[in-house]
């Protein structure tokens, strides 16, 4: 499925992409970042990109490097999203990785979170690998209790700032390894009516636990089944670009056989010039 995210998220724009990089606008700030799936030829040349951009991320190792300043960029700046009853403000900043505080493709999930939130009672929502909390904030207007899990303390603090900016007070933020948290919730017999799972390809837990998607996802999904209510939904985002349709369908049939598939497709973000980048698989399951 191809989609131009700007049509859903006015504060974000994929201006161009190609040669393993992307040119994006976040509010008033335009950035150049590495993008392994941008394997086409960009419509604009690099000189035109540099004229438009405020900063460019120069990668030294995978996902780490330095920002090259092209124009003045504030230490932090905010962008907003206001639709479907969601009022969200995100604080962004240049970090020592290529990430700046938002995965704009998550906007595709926010409408679904709002829609299902109006249908399910006893609302208890869980966001695993939650990053800076924007999906948690999207859920906070529709769910009584929102639990946000990330393994990095400074990211949890960032989430709390975003929640405060957005006026949300019903988000419980916990610094924890996702699998360990789910195992503890099984012991507590906690049930969730909604869960979003956004695992990285490779990551570390709160105590340096190793996470490798292909090695660990099965164990997590086995555990996850035990904290889902009888009437519930699951949103899965798989960003690993080596994942095949066969692999995705195996996971669904193995762990969510009693769920209906509301959506399952690979998403390609379309730039203003028509080139695309790969956002991975988006899956929505409901029972």
Q: How does pLDDT run across 88-131, given as a tens digit for each residue? A: 999 999 998 999 999 999 999 998 998 887 776 658 999 999 99
Mean per-residue pLDDT of the chain: 93
Rounded alpha-carbon distances, angstroms, from residue 173 to 135, 186, 206, 265: 13, 18, 13, 30
| 121 belongs to a structural domain | yes
Q: Which residue carries 């124009």 as its tokens?
A: 71
pLDDT at 1 over 90: yes
% of the chain surpassing 70 pLDDT: 97
Please name the residues in contact with 215: beta carbons below 8 A apart, sequence gap of 6 or more. Answer: none
Residue 186 placed within a domain? yes
CA end-to-end distance (rounded Å), the chain: 24
25 in a domain, yes or no? Answer: no
- pLDDT, tens digit, for every residue of 262-275? 999 999 999 999 99
Q: Is residue 36 over pLDDT 70?
A: yes
Read off the CATH number of the domain in which 204 is found. Answer: 3.40.50.150
State mean pLDDT over 29-49: 96
In a domain, 173, yes or no: yes
233 falls within a domain: yes
The H-or-E segment that residue 185 falls in is helix 178-188
Give the total number of structural domains in the chain. 1
CA–CA dist 286, 246 (Å, integer): 20
For residue range 214-263, what is the model confidence (pLDDT) as tens digits? 888 999 999 999 999 999 999 999 988 788 999 999 999 999 999 999 99
Q: Specify the pLDDT at position 210.
A: 78
Burial 146-175 (b: 16+ CB within 10 A, else e): bbbbbbeeebbebbbbbbeebebeebebeb
Q: How confident is the model at residue 200 (pLDDT cuts 50, 70, 90)?
A: confident
* Residue 177 in this model has a pLDDT that exceeds 80: yes
Structural domain includes residue 81 = no
Distances (CA, A) of 277 to 3, 39, 105, 112, 229: 10, 8, 11, 22, 35
pLDDT at 7 over 90: yes
CB 26 within 8 A of CB 100: yes
Cα–Cα distance measured from residue 33 to residue 36, given in angstroms and rounded to the nearest whole number: 10
A 10 A CB-CB count for 13 gives 19
Percentage above 90 pLDDT, the chain: 84
Q: Is the pLDDT of residue 206 over 70?
A: no
User: Is 8 among the domain residues?
Assistant: no
The SS3 call for residue 80 is: strand
Give the residue numbers spanning the domain of 214. 103-286
């Amino acid at each position: 499925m191809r989609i131009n995210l700007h049509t859903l998220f006015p504060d974000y724009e994929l201006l161009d992409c190609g040669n393993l990089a992307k040119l994006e606008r976040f509010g008033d700030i335009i950035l150049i970042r590495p993008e392994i799936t941008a394997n086409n030829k960009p419509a604009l040349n690099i000189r035109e990109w540099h004229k438009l951009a405020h900063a460019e991320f120069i990668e030294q190792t995978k996902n780490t490097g330095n920002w090259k300043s092209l124009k003045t960029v504030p230490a932090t700046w905010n962008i907003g999203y206001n639709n479907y009853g969601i009022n969200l403000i995100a604080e962004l900043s240049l970090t020592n990785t290529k990430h700046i505080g938002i995965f704009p493709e998550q906007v595709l999930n926010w409408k679904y979170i709002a829609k299902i939130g109006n249908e399910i009672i006893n609302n208890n929502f869980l966001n695993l690998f939650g990053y800076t909390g924007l999906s948690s904030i999207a859920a906070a207007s529709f769910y009584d209790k929102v639990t946000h899990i990330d393994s990095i303390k400074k990211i949890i603090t960032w989430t709390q700032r975003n929640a405060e900016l957005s006026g949300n007070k019903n988000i419980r933020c916990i610094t924890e390894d996702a699998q360990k948290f789910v195992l503890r919730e099984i012991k507590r017999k906690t049930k969730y009516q909604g869960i979003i799972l956004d695992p990285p390809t490779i990551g570390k837990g709160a105590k340096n636990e190793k996470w490798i998607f292909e090695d660990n996802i099965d164990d997590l999904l086995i555990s996850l089944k035990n904290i889902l209510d009888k009437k519930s939904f699951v949103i899965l985002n798989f960003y690993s670009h080596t994942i095949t349709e066969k692999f995705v369908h195996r996971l669904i049939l193995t762990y969510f056989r009693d769920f209906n598939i509301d959506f399952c497709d690979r998403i390609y973000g379309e730039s203003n010039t028509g080139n695309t980048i790969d956002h991975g698989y988006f899956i929505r399951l409901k029972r």
